[in-house]
Every structure is written in structure tokens, then in C-alpha cells.
Structure 1
């Protein structure tokens, strides 16, 4: 029998309505600044890269004044037709800190060495409201990383989908997309119980893998691409081992440090381009064997390896 777990909002077995979402929203506390941490860092890169506003996220209700978050992307200067194009996204889950700062660090310290070899579009923080509140969901208690699909009700997901469509319409298909994430201890202590409560389901405990791993696409597996990233990241931080079932986070390990999900069916961000090479990184920041700096460095190493692989595959 699954362990009984009572989440502090809602009635067990009943999906949330508007009142429960209001209760959940009232519990969310702003703890850091998207403007200070992300927009300021992006502005500092404007002299070396193109910076574009690709939308705004606006949230308000009867209890909360309107909040507006400008969404910005960083683009290679002098985009060149014929070169492989790579999308790097972070902060789809705002609380996954190293994804945001790993994307920014990559642009600042590594992106210029790919000039003339690859075109880069980097979106460091897809979900700024959640970034400020260390939250997985957006203001409406929606997971953006299940919302990259037609008819999406997540503003963040729709904005990125529009950006990708515009870029592909102007410049052509992306070759690769690497989406930067973390798996944290709060996934098990907070977010999975919250999902179960929100959806009126029973919470079934799982486990958190100790180390870095990747999620490949079941419908378009690219094992050589994944392993090139795993090899690079393994020089920075440890790779998650499988459990006794040869699984990572409930999914069979297909290659060392790699599992697979159905990207498009799940509405995952890594499905948004339809690129040949796609992956989702998962850093484990709560490991006693990893520091916050290592987590950021692991994301940078993953992006560099992904871009190097694509450049070599052309």
C-alpha cells in the first residue's frame, strides 16, 4: 500500500478548485529578484550578444497586485545560415537554480568560442515568477514543463513556443536543444505531494537519485549525443547510479546516466523545437558530494559538450 501523505491544502481524493489554488498561492513567498539576478546579468552581455524581448508574463488576482516579468533571450551575433543552431533553455522550473545560472555562465564564459561554428539562442529563465519564489509551478499552479503543447494555459510555455516558431520561420530548424534542470530533495518532500493533492490522487513515494543524469526522448533517442554529455559532466560532478531495479527516478536506465521520456506526449520543454538532438539535464544540488558551484559548472559542461557534438556531427 502507498504511504499515506496529507498535503496541507485540499481534501484527499478531490482535485483542487479555485479556492485551493488561492490557498497555495498565498503560501508562496518572494525570496529573490529575477530583475537583479537574471535581467541585470543579461544586460551585461548585450555588448557581445544580441538580446531580444520575446514576451511578457503578467500575473494578478484579487489578492495580488499585477506583476510583469519581461522575458529575454540571448542570441549569437551575426547568425549564419548553414551553421548548426542550438537552443539552450533554463529555469523552466524556476526553483532549479543551476539551470538559470548555468545558462548565463555558459553565455558569459563559453559561447563566444563557438562563433562561426554554431548559432546559439539561450533563454536563461523561462519561468521568472517561479524563480523568485523557489517554486516548480507558475502562479496558476501549472507546471510549465508539462505545458509545451497546443492549447497550453501556461504563459511561460506559450511565450517560448512562439519564440521558437518565429526563429525557425526566419532561420530554419534547430539542430539541438538542451534544457537545463535539477532534481532536488524537495521534489519528493514538496512537489510530488503537491501534484497528488492538486490532482486528487494518492501520493506514492519515490526516490531521488544522487548525481547527474539526462533524459533522452523515447521517440527520438540519440544515445551517442547523450553519452558525449555524460562523459563531459562526469569530469565535473558524479553521475547518478541506477537503483536496484536498474532505474533512475522510476524509469529504466537505457545507457549509463540516461533515461527516456516521451517528450512531446508529456509536453516537455525539450520537445519544443523538434530538433534532431534533444536532452534534459538533471543536476542533484542536494548531494553531499556536490556544491552549488559544481552544479553550475556541470550545466556549463553539458551545454559545451552538446554544442561540440553538434558541430562535429555536421
Structure 2
């Protein structure tokens, strides 16, 4: 099994955003700029050390449209997810909200992100403890806030949940995918293809004890955020993994691209 230190510091420089990957003040400024432009509605779920844990939602939900949730930043050293969401948002127009009820959770672990650490400042993993699957994991402070708003999150992810992660040990990309079928379908392969435009697909037969087939770990239920939402009723789900040994800006663009593919797939 891959070993990742919870308090090893990771930091990269982005030419796209002209700052370092853990510059949370710059991230918050850029986020406010994009959410204001798109007129997204804020929903603060709570605070961690003064930093808000917040969702941003379409200006007005519309009956009959798919409802999807995109999240990132559960692990603080996986910084291309949150920055990729900013890039994704920068390319959106308000016309999208005629097609989808969109909810964004840009930064689930602000204290880890600001330090470039995997876990939060309390040493807890914000991406475990959402389901009881025998791993003994308890929810972090972030997880408790998200679980407390379970009804809101389940409604927001009714048609799909995408969480964007990175693998700091990898030079290749891969995907965890959930579909109500026996084998990966067009949804899963479309997301992997978006990632493959930027990085080679892993040829590993297993990652962290999970079997991998053609770069996809399929219908694997652990105690993660996305597995919980799929168990709670989301029709489709995915967790993308970009290789953190690759160029940071390329990873930002790959995360932006997989978010766009996710929207395209579920709005078709």
C-alpha cells in the first residue's frame, strides 16, 4: 500500500495564477471574484480555525434539471483540485445554469491546504469516516460538518458527484468511478479520457489494495465522501486522481477539464 505522510509539506508554483499552491488568501480572493461574477449563492456549513467550509450553488435551482456536486481540496497537498476548480469556474457562463443545478465545494480542508499537508491541522483525514465499512475511521471536524448537512448534499448530488484528488506518489492518472451497472460505461470512460489528454493512464493492476482495470477502480465503496453520497442516492460518482509528480499547471488544467467533462456527461 502506498504510504503518504500526513504532515509532509508540498508546495508548487502556478504560472496560471501567479502564486504558490498553498496561498489560501489568494485562493479565497480568486474564488470570491468568480463566484461574484457567476452570481453563485454561498452556503456556509461551518468554520475550521476561522476558515469557512462553504458550498456555492446555482443562482436559483430549477425543477427538472440534473443536480450535480463537484468537490475538491479534501487533502491539503492535493492542491490542483481547488485551483482547477477556479480555472473551471473562470470558463463558465451563467448560461450553464439553464442546463444544470450546480453545487461546488471548492476547499474541504482549508487548514491542510494552507500548510500543504495531507490531513487537517488536527491530524485527521477529512475524506474518511462518512460510511461504516469496517475501517474504523471516524469523521474529521470537516466530515462532521458535511454529515450534519447530509440532506442538502444528497439533494445537490442527486444526479452525480465528482471529487477531484491527486496522488503525490504517481506520475500517471487514474479514476475511481461509480455507475449503476456491472462494468464502467460512457460516464466513467469519458472522465478518464479527459484526464488522459494530459497524463498517461496507470498500468498498475492495483492501487491501495483496489483492483484497477484500464485505469479505473470501479464501484469500490470505502468510507470516503463520494462513496457516501453514491450510497445515499447519487446516480453516478467519480473521484479523479491526477499525478502530483507532474507539472502543477498541467494538473490544474486536467482538473478543470475533468470537471467540464463531468458536467457535459450529465447534461447530455
Alignment RMSD, CA only?
A: 3.0
Contact 2:69 2:157 (8 Å CA) reproduced = no
Matched, 1:87 2:69: yes
Contact 1:220 1:276 (8 Å CA) reproduced = no
Which aligned pairs between 1:126-137 and structure 2 lie closer than 5 A? 126-137=108-119
Query: Which residue of structure 2 lines up, in the alignment, with residue 280 of structure 1?
Result: 239
Closer, same or farther: CA 91–222 of 1 in aligned 2, 3 Å: farther
SS of the residue corresponding to residue 161 of structure 2 reads: strand
User: What is the distance in 1 between the residues matched to 2:267 and 2:114?
Assistant: 35
Closer, same or farther: CA 88–218 of 1 in aligned 2, 3 Å: closer
Contact 1:253 1:259 (8 Å CA) reproduced = yes
Q: Unaligned 5+ residue runs, structure 1? A: 8-23, 59-66, 186-207
SS of the residue corresponding to residue 276 of structure 1 reads: coil
**297, 302, 308: which one aligns with 2:253:** 297
SS of the residue corresponding to residue 230 of structure 1 reads: helix
Query: Which residue of structure 2 lines up, in the alignment, with residue 179 of structure 1?
Result: 163
SS of the residue corresponding to residue 146 of structure 1 reads: coil
Q: TM-score, normalised by structure 1?
A: 0.69
Closer, same or farther: CA 272–107 of 1 in aligned 2, 3 Å: farther
How many residues are matched?
Answer: 248
**208, 212, 215: which one aligns with 1:257:** 215
Instruction: Please state how far the C-alpha of 1:306 moved relative to its aligned partner.
Output: 1.2
Instruction: Please state how far the C-alpha of 1:234 moved relative to its aligned partner.
Output: 2.1
Q: TM-score, normalised by structure 2?
A: 0.80
1:142-178 CA distances to partner (integer Å, 9 max, x unpaired)? 111112247944111122233442254xx57620000
Contact 2:44 2:54 (8 Å CA) reproduced = yes
- Structure of larger gyration radius: 1
Matched, 1:50 2:40: yes
Instruction: Please state how far the C-alpha of 1:183 moved relative to its aligned partner.
Output: 0.1
Closer, same or farther: CA 28–296 of 1 in aligned 2, 3 Å: closer
Contact 2:130 2:139 (8 Å CA) reproduced = no
1:213-235 CA distances to partner (integer Å, 9 max, x unpaired)? 10124986661211011122222
